[in-house]
Amino acid sequence: MRTRVAVIGGGQSCEHDVSLASAAAVAAALDPTTYEVVPLTIGRDGTWRDRSLRPIGLAGAAQVLRSCDVVFPVVHGPRGEDGALAALCELAGLPYVGSGIGPGALAMDKWATKLVAGAVGIATAPGHLVTAATAARERWTHPVVVKPVAAGSSHGVALVTAPDGLLPALEVALALDSRALVEDVVAGREIDVAVLRRADGTVVASPALEIVVDGLFDFDAKYGGHADLRVPARLDEADARALEQAALTAYDALGCAGVARIDFFLTDAGPVLNEVNTIPGMTEHSQVPRMFTAAGLSYPDLLDELVRGARHRAPATPVWFPSLDTPAPTWQEDRPSPLSPVC
- Position 138, amino acid: E
Which residues, 6 or more positions from 111, have their beta carbon under 8 angstroms from its beta carbon? Answer: 129, 149, 179, 181
Which residues, 6 or more positions from 121, have their beta carbon under 8 angstroms from its beta carbon? Answer: 249
Catalytic one of 13, 22, 153, 337: 153
Rounded to the nearest 10 degrees, the angle between the axes of helix 84-92 and helix 101-108 is 180
Cis peptide, bond prior to residue 232, ω within 30 of zero: yes
Find, among 156, 161, 192, 182, the residue nearest to 265 by Cα.
Answer: 192
3-state SS of 5-19 is EEEEEECCCCCHHHH
Catalytic one of 17, 50, 223, 230: 223
Whether 15 is a known active-site residue: answer yes
Residues 1, 6: Cα–Cα separation, whole Å: 16
Whether the CB-CB separation of 20 and 9 falls below 8 Å is answered with yes
Catalytic one of 177, 275, 304, 305: 275
Catalytic one of 19, 99, 277, 286: 277
Catalytic one of 15, 82, 90, 177: 15
Whether 153 is a known active-site residue: answer yes
Whether 281 is a known active-site residue: answer yes
Catalytic one of 281, 299, 305, 337: 281
The pairing of strands 3-10 and 35-42 is parallel
Whether 277 is a known active-site residue: answer yes
Find, among 235, 221, 224, 294, the residue nearest to 264 by Cα.
Answer: 235
Catalytic one of 49, 79, 197, 261: 261
Catalytic one of 82, 90, 210, 263: 263
Residues 311, 89: Cα–Cα separation, whole Å: 13
Half-sphere exposure of 225 (CA within 13 A, CB side): 0
The Cβ of residue 126 has, within 10 Å, a number of other Cβ atoms equal to 12
Which sign, positive or negative, has the C-alpha torsion 334, 48, 222, 284? negative
The Cβ of residue 123 has, within 10 Å, a number of other Cβ atoms equal to 18
What is the set of active-site residues?
15, 153, 223, 261, 263, 275, 277, 281
